[in-house]
């Protein structure tokens, strides 16, 4: 699908479509990120999903091969525990030629930004609230992504600000380019995001049943079947794990909610359920979708089949074009 939108973010990342595929723990590996890049967007390998440096380096090399050396990105978590120190992941990515970074979590430290900039790289920092975006802007990031309360995964401190509202407010308050994310799964929403002032969208959930996602067919079938009410939010009020977490409403999530209702607030009370290896091994690898905290949001309702990422991207851009035509019709009449 040819380029239709030319924004500050398509220029910053040198991409055809204003679509960023946010990092997905365990799932945004080389194959997924390469599929996004080859489809005209920008994807980010989650460094934290690699338990060792050699494993991470293998992912980087595989992605470079699958993209025929097109630029691709790496997601760095600035607050969550990583098996390998953050700066070690960063240095490995820079050595492999990666220049595009999505950071998420705490405000990125000066030396992180400086090291990326010094290497000629670009960093977009993902935040749940506009005020965090303003801080990141002051710290010198190139762009920010603001995710609404409806996003899959961790909306952080954002429990009441939808993506479109935050995105519209951002227009008057940010000077740097910004993307908005959360609940976006249809191309008309991309047009709406651009209309309120954003330069791109961040998508996670809509891509979960992509053919190139490394996950069990039963997991993808569950994503196809799920509707907009099949998610739940855990840890909305207490924060043993750092805040709200929007996931598939499955047996694990219900057990977490049950323990929350019993007033348990310490990390140990939930550790057996929230461990990432439960998601990775039981759900993503073996297809038992009742096990593990499986991040997703209401945009899952837009998934209607397993199909290549390029086909999803083409559909999104065709929907954006149809929405543009609709607006033209309305303004002519
Ligand atoms: C399965 C899954 C795993 C995620 N893991 C991460 C992660 O490790 N790091 C991160 O920055 N964001 C993570 N996210 C958030 C996405 O990058 C993105 O911001 C979010 O999915 C956008 O909202 P949407 O799901 O409504 O499209 C994850 C989201 C999902 C659905």
Q: Residue 176: what pLDDT? A: 98
Whether 226 shows a pLDDT value over 70: the answer reads yes
Tell whether the model's pLDDT for residue 314 goes beyond 80: yes
Q: Dig out the tokens for 237 from the structure.
A: 């009020």
User: Phi and psi of 263, rounded to 5°?
Assistant: 85, 15
Report, as an integer, the average pLDDT of 76-99: 91
| CATH number of the structural domain spanning residue 110 | 3.20.20.70
Largest CA distance in the chain: 62
**Is the pLDDT confidence value at 80 over 80?**
no
Ligand 1 within 6 A of CB of 125: no
Task: Using the mean position of ligand 1's atoms as its centre, give its distance from the Cα of residue 151 in Å.
Answer: 7
Is the shortest distance between the CB of 181 and ligand 1 below 6 Å?
yes
Residue 241 binned pLDDT confidence (cut-offs 50, 70, 90):
low
Instruction: Assess whether the C-beta atom of 22 lies below 6 angstroms from ligand 1.
Output: yes
Residue 309 maps to a domain:
yes
User: Does 136 reside within a domain?
Assistant: yes
- Domain match, 68 and 133 both: yes
Do 313 and 288 reside in the same domain of the chain?
Answer: no
Distance CA 276, CA 255 (A): 16
Asked whether residue 220 is domain-assigned, the answer is: no
pLDDT tens, position by position, 123-166: 999 999 999 999 999 999 999 999 999 999 998 877 789 999 99
Q: From 292, 210, 299, 214, select the one nearest 255 (Cα to Cα).
A: 292
58 touches 105 (CB < 8 A): no
Contact 284, 321 (CB under 8 A): no
Give DSSP secondary structure letters for 153-220: EEEET-SS--HHHHHHHHHTT--S-EEEESS--SHHHHHHHHHHT-SEEEESGGGTTBTTS-S-HHHH
Structure confidence at residue 266 (pLDDT): 87
Highest-scoring range by mean pLDDT, 83-92, 188-197, 254-263: 188-197
Residues 139 and 190 in one domain: yes
269 and 316 inside one domain: no
pTM for this prediction:
0.97
Q: For 14-69, what is each residue's pLDDT tens digit?
A: 999 999 999 999 999 999 999 999 999 999 999 999 999 999 999 999 999 999 98
Residue 3 lies in a domain: no
User: What's the structural domain count of the chain?
Assistant: 2
If you measure from the C-alpha of residue 97 to the centroid of ligand 1, how many angstroms do you get, rounded to a whole number?
Answer: 24
pLDDT confidence of residue 134: 96
Cβ of 176 less than 6 Å from ligand 1: no
Q: What span, in angstroms and rounded, lies between the C-alpha atoms of 157 and 36?
A: 28
Residue 242 has pLDDT above 80, yes or no: no
Structure tokens at 49: 């999903």
Q: Which of 73, 204, 280 to mutate to test the pocket of ligand 1 (most atoms within 8 A of CB)?
A: 204
Say what the alpha-carbon torsion angle 153, 157, 163, 169 is, to the nearest 10 degrees: -160
Distance 326 CA to ligand 1 centre (A): 30
Q: Are 104 and 28 in contact (CB under 8 A)?
A: no
Query: Same domain for 305 and 291?
Result: no
The closest of 121, 229, 248 to 103, measured between CA atoms, is 121
If asked whether residues 209 and 275 sit together in one domain, one would say no
CA of 202 from ligand 1 middle (Å) equals 9
Calculate how far, in angstroms, residue 204's C-alpha sits from the geometric centre of ligand 1.
5
Which token pair is 54?
A: 């050699």
Examine the domain organization and report whether 290 and 181 are in the same domain: no
Structural domain that includes position 170: 8-214+301-326
Question: For residue 249, is pLDDT > 90?
Answer: yes
* One domain, residues 185 and 145: yes
Please indicate, yes or no, whether residues 196 and 287 belong to a single structural domain of this protein: no
Predicted confidence band at 239 (pLDDT cuts at 50, 70, 90)? low
């Amino acid at each position: 699908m040819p380029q239709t939108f030319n924004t500050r973010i398509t220029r910053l990342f040198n991409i055809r479509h204003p679509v960023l595929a946010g990092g997905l723990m365990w799932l945004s590996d080389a194959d997924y990120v390469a599929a996004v890049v080859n489809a005209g967007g920008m994807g980010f390998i989650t460094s934290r999903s690699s338990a060792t440096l050699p494993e991470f380096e293998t992912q980087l090399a595989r992605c470079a091969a699958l993209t025929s050396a097109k630029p691709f990105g790496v997601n760095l978590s600035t607050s969550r525990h990583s098996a390998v120190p953050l700066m070690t992941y960063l240095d490995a990515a820079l050595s492999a030629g990666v220049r595009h970074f999505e950071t998420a979590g705490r405000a990125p430290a000066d030396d992180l930004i400086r090291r990326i900039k010094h290497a000629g790289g670009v960093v977009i920092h993902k935040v749940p609230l506009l005020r965090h975006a303003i801080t990141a802007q002051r710290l010198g990031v190139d762009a920010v992504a603001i995710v609404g309360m409806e996003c899959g995964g961790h909306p952080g401190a954002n429990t009441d600000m939808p993506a479109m509202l935050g995105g519209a407010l951002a227009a008057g308050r940010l000077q740097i380019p910004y993307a908005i994310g959360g609940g976006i799964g249809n191309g008309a929403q991309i047009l709406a995001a651009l209309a309120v002032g954003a330069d791109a969208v961040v998508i996670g959930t809509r891509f979960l049943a992509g053919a190139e996602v490394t996950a069990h067919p039963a997991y993808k079938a569950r994503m196809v079947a799920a509707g907009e009410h099949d998610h739940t939010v855990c840890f909305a009020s207490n924060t043993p794990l750092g805040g709200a977490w929007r996931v598939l409403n499955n047996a694990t999530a219900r057990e977490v909610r049950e323990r929350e209702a019993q007033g348990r607030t310490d990390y140990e009370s939930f550790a057996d359920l929230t461990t990432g290896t439960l998601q990775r091994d039981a759900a993503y690898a073996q297809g038992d979708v009742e096990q593990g905290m499986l991040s997703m949001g209401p945009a899952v309702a837009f998934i209607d089949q397993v199909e290549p990422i390029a086909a999803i991207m083409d559909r999104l851009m065709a929907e954006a074009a149809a929405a543009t035509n609709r607006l033209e019709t309305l303004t002519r009449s």
